[in-house]
Amino acid sequence: MITLHHCVSARSFRPLWMLEELGLAYELRMQPFPPRVKAREYLEVNPLGTVPALFDGAVRMTESAAICQYLAARHSPGNLDVGVNEPDFGAYLNFLHFGEATLTFPQTLVLRYSHFEPPERRQPQVVEDYARWFLARLRTLEPRLAAQPYLCAQRFTAADVSVGYALLLAQHLGLSGSFTPAVQAYWQALQRRDAYARALRAQHAAAEAQGVPTLPAPDTR
């Protein structure tokens, strides 16, 4: 059985969404955010203290985009995965990693300096600059999504989960009102997926059942 360590709305939502898309059995272990402060024992699971951490037999993984790639390749070849011989293999890998490496990075600065730092350490200029930087990085998606419903291979893939999570985080940060039209339409369509809705419900049900707060406490350095 696959075990996923997750904090509500954190990057570990990517693998959770994938597990629901794939219909796999899994155990969801909720952690308060940030685990390295609020659940010190989690450092034995992942010494970095970050989520996700996914265990599948002897496999242990802690990078959200890599986990999406792993689950797609192992459990859904030719569907949520894009094969090496398909023309969009390169585009698939590019968008899968673009979601985390290029989009989520500026968002974490917005999150930190608008929500997680104590009031005296908040940095409105950093928040404004990195919010603008994040939105500018969506520019590369607009023409593509104006021409096709998904990022690559003419079907929903793990790359859409990776980028879709960045759009979800943008919504939490109050930035989704600035999405350009095709990105906005894509984001609305992603939210209509049954597996996306199931993943949202699963994290809230598990948090409640395990007594984990659904909102991160402020000042969690």
Ligand X SMILES: N[C@@H](CCC(=O)N[C@@H](CS)C(=O)NCC(=O)O)C(=O)O
Positions touching ligand X (CB under 6 A) are 10-11, 34, 36, 49-52, 63-65, 100
CA 136 – CA 113 distance, rounded (Å):
19
Nearer to ligand X, 64 or 203 (CB): 64
How far is the CA of 51 from the CAs of 22, 101, 107, 108, 109, in angstroms? Answer: 20, 16, 16, 14, 17
Nearer to ligand X, 162 or 182 (CB): 162
Nearer to ligand X, 4 or 182 (CB): 4
Neighbours of 201 (CB within 10 A): 11
Least distance between ligand X and beta carbon 43 (Å): 10
Least distance between ligand X and beta carbon 116 (Å): 9
Coil, strand or helix at 27: strand
Report which residue's Cβ sits closest to ligand X: 50
Q: Which residues contact 27 (CB under 8 A, 6 or more apart)?
A: 1, 2, 3, 4
Least distance between ligand X and beta carbon 219 (Å): 13
Give the strand pairing for 26-30 and 2-6: parallel
Least distance between ligand X and beta carbon 98 (Å): 12
Nearer to ligand X, 172 or 201 (CB): 172
